[in-house]
Amino acid sequence: MEELLVALVSRLWRSVRDASLEQAVVQRLSEGANIDTATLERSLVALFDSIAAGGDARLEEATSARAS
Protein backbone atom coordinates (compact mmCIF):
# COMPACT_ATOMS: atom_id res chain seq x y z
CA MET A 1 0.00 0.00 0.00
CA GLU A 2 2.81 2.37 0.86
CA GLU A 3 4.31 2.01 -2.61
CA LEU A 4 0.95 2.80 -4.24
CA LEU A 5 0.51 5.91 -2.11
CA VAL A 6 4.02 7.17 -2.80
CA ALA A 7 3.54 6.67 -6.53
CA LEU A 8 0.15 8.40 -6.46
CA VAL A 9 1.33 11.39 -4.44
CA SER A 10 4.39 11.78 -6.64
CA ARG A 11 2.22 11.94 -9.75
CA LEU A 12 -0.45 14.19 -8.26
CA TRP A 13 2.17 16.57 -6.89
CA ARG A 14 3.33 17.09 -10.50
CA SER A 15 -0.27 17.45 -11.82
CA VAL A 16 -0.15 14.02 -13.46
CA ARG A 17 -3.34 11.98 -13.14
CA ASP A 18 -3.22 8.20 -13.43
CA ALA A 19 -6.72 6.71 -13.33
CA SER A 20 -5.56 3.12 -12.87
CA LEU A 21 -3.26 4.06 -9.99
CA GLU A 22 -5.97 6.15 -8.37
CA GLN A 23 -8.42 3.26 -8.70
CA ALA A 24 -5.93 0.83 -7.16
CA VAL A 25 -5.46 3.12 -4.16
CA VAL A 26 -9.21 3.58 -3.73
CA GLN A 27 -9.78 -0.16 -3.97
CA ARG A 28 -7.12 -1.02 -1.38
CA LEU A 29 -8.27 1.70 1.01
CA SER A 30 -11.92 0.71 0.72
CA GLU A 31 -11.09 -2.93 1.42
CA GLY A 32 -8.89 -2.05 4.39
CA ALA A 33 -11.37 0.38 5.91
CA ASN A 34 -14.48 -1.60 4.93
CA ILE A 35 -15.93 1.45 3.14
CA ASP A 36 -17.99 1.34 -0.04
CA THR A 37 -15.62 1.85 -2.98
CA ALA A 38 -17.90 4.30 -4.81
CA THR A 39 -18.38 6.44 -1.71
CA LEU A 40 -14.66 6.56 -1.01
CA GLU A 41 -13.86 7.26 -4.64
CA ARG A 42 -16.18 10.30 -4.72
CA SER A 43 -14.41 11.73 -1.70
CA LEU A 44 -10.90 11.00 -2.86
CA VAL A 45 -11.35 12.23 -6.43
CA ALA A 46 -12.03 15.71 -5.04
CA LEU A 47 -8.85 15.46 -2.98
CA PHE A 48 -6.85 14.19 -5.96
CA ASP A 49 -8.21 17.09 -8.06
CA SER A 50 -7.18 19.58 -5.40
CA ILE A 51 -3.65 18.24 -5.08
CA ALA A 52 -3.13 17.98 -8.84
CA ALA A 53 -4.49 21.48 -9.44
CA GLY A 54 -1.55 23.07 -7.64
CA GLY A 55 1.13 20.99 -9.32
CA ASP A 56 2.16 23.48 -11.98
CA ALA A 57 2.67 26.21 -9.38
CA ARG A 58 4.71 23.86 -7.18
CA LEU A 59 6.93 22.83 -10.08
CA GLU A 60 7.42 26.48 -11.09
CA GLU A 61 8.34 27.40 -7.52
CA ALA A 62 10.78 24.50 -7.21
CA THR A 63 12.40 25.34 -10.54
CA SER A 64 12.83 29.00 -9.68
CA ALA A 65 14.18 28.15 -6.21
CA ARG A 66 16.87 25.91 -7.72
CA ALA A 67 17.82 28.61 -10.22
CA SER A 68 18.42 31.14 -7.41
The CA distance from 23 to 56, in Å, is: 23
pLDDT per position as a tens digit, 1-36: 999 999 999 999 989 999 999 999 999 999 999 999
Query: What does pTM read for this prediction?
Result: 0.79
User: How many Cβ atoms from other residues are within 10 Å of residue 38's Cβ?
Assistant: 9
* CA distances in angstroms from 11 to 36, 56, 63, 68, listed in the order given: 25, 12, 17, 25
Model confidence at 57, pLDDT cuts 50, 70, 90, reads: confident
Tell me which of 44 and 62 has the higher pLDDT: 44
